[in-house]
Structure formats: C-alpha cells, structure tokens
Amino acid sequence: MSGVPGSTLWGNTGYRLIKLGEMVFAMTEEAFGSLEVNPRQFNVLATAAAMESPSQQELSRRLGIDPNVMVGVVDDLEQQGLAERRRNPADRRRYIVAPTERGRRLLKETAGIVEEIESRLFAGLSEDERAVLHDIAGRLLQEHPPPVKRH
C-alpha cells in the first residue's frame, strides 16, 4: 500500500487525513453495495434531512459539491424516489430538496451501517481518543468551509 510509514508524505497530517477519508469512502461504498445509494448520494440525502429542506445551492455550498454535479446527484435521488424537489414557498424561483418518506426510511436503515463502519475503523482507539478525534475534526471542518469540488 502506498502511503505506509516511510512514504515521503507519511509525516504530513493532511496526507493521513486524505488516506483516512479514502478508507471511510471505500468502506462505506462496500457496505452500501446492496443499497440504492452510493456514499455521495447518501451524504446529500442525509444533509438535506439535517438541514430541513435546503435549496440545491445551499446543499452544494455545505458539501463543497459543484452546483452542476449537485443537479445530477439530486436527479438520481429523485429518480430513485429518495428525494424530491419542491418550490420554495418563500422564493418561487428556488427549489428545496427534501427526502421522501422512502428516503427517510433509508436513512434510518443505514444509521446502523454507518455506526458499524466507524466501530471497525476506530476499534483501536479508546473512547477518550475517539471523542478527541471527533472534536478536533469537527472544529477543523467548522473553521474551514469545504472548497467546491468540480467533479
């Protein structure tokens, strides 16, 4: 595996975080294999539920996903019956994205899968270490909004 101790980038914390992110993505993708969603779609659906019917633009900004890519992700969620676009009653020019009942059920079903992934990934850490990692990751993410991805 590249990026093992001894790699020229191994001493870089950012590199290690990238590798952890890749690992979480791969584990999630594998665990979601038989489900209707991939990790990106799941993230958009879960964020839409947490934000209580945001606009596509708000989702795009929050998740750092290019607005054009977001359209395709929401299209896929709509086609699967997991989310719907509705006119924003406060601004008829905008659409809000909301999980459907089916989408909310899927989020409940996948909660255990996500917990299992975290349990496996962080099995070697104590509860205190997990709490510290969670806190630090949260602070860093709040201090630095995600850049918009172009893919």
User: Global pTM?
Assistant: 0.81
> For residue 85, what are the contacts with CB-CB under 8 A and spacing of at least 6?
56, 74, 78, 95, 96, 97
The DSSP secondary structure of 68-84, one letter per residue, reads HHHHHHHHHHHHTTSEE
Region 44-53: mean pLDDT is 93
- In this prediction, residue 3 carries a pLDDT of 52
pLDDT tens for 96-107 read 999 999 999 999
Closest listed residue to residue 59, CA positions, set 43, 77, 39: 43
Q: Does residue 5 carry a pLDDT above 90?
A: no
Region 36-63: mean pLDDT is 92
d(CA 5, CA 15): 12
- In this prediction, residue 144 carries a pLDDT of 84
Pick the CATH number of 13-143 from 1.10.10.10, 3.40.50.740, 3.30.710.10, 3.30.930.10: 1.10.10.10
Phi/psi at 99 (nearest 5 deg)? -65, 145
pLDDT tens for 28-42 read 999 998 888 899 999
- Name the amino acid, one letter, at 118: E
Confidence of residue 1 (pLDDT cuts 50, 70, 90): very low
pLDDT tens for 110-140 read 989 999 999 999 999 999 999 999 999 999 9
d(CA 60, CA 151): 12
- In this prediction, residue 149 carries a pLDDT of 67
